[in-house]
Amino acid sequence: MTSSFANFKIDVHTHPVPEFYREALVDAGYSARNLSDVFVDGFRTPNFDIKSYVDERVEHGYGFSVLSITAPGVSFLHGSYRAEELARQLNQEMQSYRKAYPDQIGAFCILPLPDIQSSLEEIKYVWTS
């Protein structure tokens, strides 16, 4: 195949961890030596900087990346209003990444499950933003 898409690679397994998300995890009792060393299910949350990621992504040959928030998402807040607020803040952060790099970055929406009504509202917000 000689199509320009033959070498086009999409990364769908990158998990940004914004500072405010780390803080929420620590506030909820997740293990941490400090804000840079927060552990979820025994794994250290990775440091993330969108500019550095975009540069590295190109070096690794990815044509496009779809970002997603890693486990536990916002489920550790058990569907409370804080889950709604954190989901919105995370979705706004992902949106800022998409707007900064529209031809290179996409993002999956994070939902405040198990709250169905709030999740539907968040889908509508993300879809129309």
CATH of domain 9-128: 3.20.20.140
Give residue limits of the domains in the chain.
9-128
Q: Distance between terminal CA atoms of the chain?
A: 37
pTM here is 0.89
Instruction: Please tell me the predicted confidence (pLDDT) of residue 6.
Output: 60
Task: Specify the pairing of strand 105-107 against strand 10-14.
Answer: unpaired
Tell me: the pLDDT tens digits for 48-101? 899 999 998 888 888 899 999 988 999 999 878 999 999 999 999 999 999 999
79 vs 43: CA distance, rounded Å: 24
91 vs 63: CA distance, rounded Å: 22
Tell me: the pLDDT tens digits for 88-101? 999 999 999 999 99
Instruction: Tell me the sheet residues that pair with 105.
Output: 65
Q: What integer is the mean pLDDT of 27-46?
A: 87
Write the DSSP assignment of 77-122 as a string of letters. Answer: GTTSHHHHHHHHHHHHHHHHHHHHSTTTEEEPPP--TT-HHHHHHH
Q: How many alpha carbons lie under 13 Å from residue 1 in its C-beta half-sphere?
A: 6
